[in-house]
Amino acid sequence: MRAARLIKMVLLLQSRPSMTAAELARELEVSERTVTRDAQALSEAGVPVYADRGRIGGYRLVGGYRTRLTGLARGEAEALFLSGVPGALREMGLEDAASAARLKVSAALLPSLRDAPRTAAQRFHLDAPNWFHEPDTPGLLPAVADAVWDDRRITARYRRGEHEVERELEPYGLVLKAGVWYLCARVSGHGSFRVYRIDRFTAVEAAEERFERAADFDLPAFWEERAEQFARSILRAEVVVRLSAQGVRRLPYAVDPLSAREALARAGGPDGSGWVTVTLPVESEEVAREQLTALGAEAEVLAPASLRERFAAEAARLAELYGR
């Protein structure tokens, strides 16, 4: 127990210019007297802990001392920067690496590892706005994740409609979107990047040779562009809606944010009652009914007539139900 505390004390002092006894006591959850004893023990063991006296004094390491206790491997250092998403780490088979990295508590990475945050960010991206959803983990996800980490080509078979297709891919990055795992990969020999759902893969085999990653590939930017393209592709219908001020504020939370943003940008000013009329791109009339129902009396559907009639019929049923 004390050995672990002494290691943590060294790492804390290594990460900051100096710390007061009170600060160290708070971090280590011990008394200031214990901090004094620990500092003395470290000094006797050859760790150059120096105590500055006075009102603003404290403890610091001298001579540019750096401990070798961390010993982070590259895989552990990269996994450390994904430790905020433990569920995703577990599904990718990286939980052990992340646990080892956290136990070593890297106070400062070696120069050869300073690109770990960038390499991790360019290989895994979390885009999961839907909370309270337990995703199904694809069985082949760990194999794909290993290939992404190692920059190894894969031969993958996946379902496309009623058929299976085989492709040789260069796996650049994984994205977890609303509980669904996607692979962003470049098709070998074509140079084009595509997105694949991992749960549609039926077989994955990693090659021995590695591929050279494109230096200008940016995973978050690529995903944002493709996600917006997909959102636009499914918005095939339009509805005209009149919104109260509260309805305007709530619209981006009820419908697709891209659709709401574009509709509000094109809308004119409020009418005499303070309501705003927007033309809203939607996936279908049925989807629009489900989404706009969440706005209640803060939205009035003006067109198409068939959708307005459905809302009028439902409003009449509600009035009858609550009017009893």
Tell me what the pLDDT averaged over the chain comes to: 80
| Amino acid at the residue 185 | A
Q: What is the band of 113 on the pLDDT scale with cuts at 50, 70, 90?
A: low
Distance (Å, whole) CA 292 – CA 295: 5
Distance (Å, whole) CA 56 – CA 180: 53
256 pLDDT more than 90: no
Sign of the CA dihedral with 91 first, then 95, 98, and 99 last: positive
Task: Give pLDDT tens digits for 198-242.
Answer: 999 999 999 988 898 888 888 888 988 888 888 778 788 899 999
Distance (Å, whole) CA 72 – CA 10: 16
Residue that is written with structure tokens 């199904």 in the block = 136
pLDDT number for residue 112: 55
Of 276, 298, 296, 280, give the one whose Cα is nearest residue 288: 280
**What six digits make up the tokens of 100?**
């080892």
- The SS3 of residue 108 is coil
73 pLDDT more than 70: no
193 pLDDT more than 70: yes
Q: What is the band of 16 on the pLDDT scale with cuts at 50, 70, 90?
A: confident
87-91, 103-107, 289-293: which is most confident: 289-293
Q: What is the pTM of this model?
A: 0.50
pLDDT number for residue 181: 86
179-184 contact pairs (CB < 8 A, 24+): 179/128, 179/130, 179/133, 179/134, 179/135, 179/136, 180/135, 181/91, 181/135, 181/137, 181/138, 181/141, 183/144, 183/148, 184/219, 184/222, 184/223, 184/226
Task: Give pLDDT tens digits for 261-289.
Answer: 889 999 989 999 999 999 999 888 898 99
Side by side, which strands form the sheet with 237-243?
Answer: 276-282, 237-243, 299-303
Which range (123-127, 164-168, 306-310) has the least confidence? 123-127
Distance (Å, whole) CA 195 – CA 114: 29
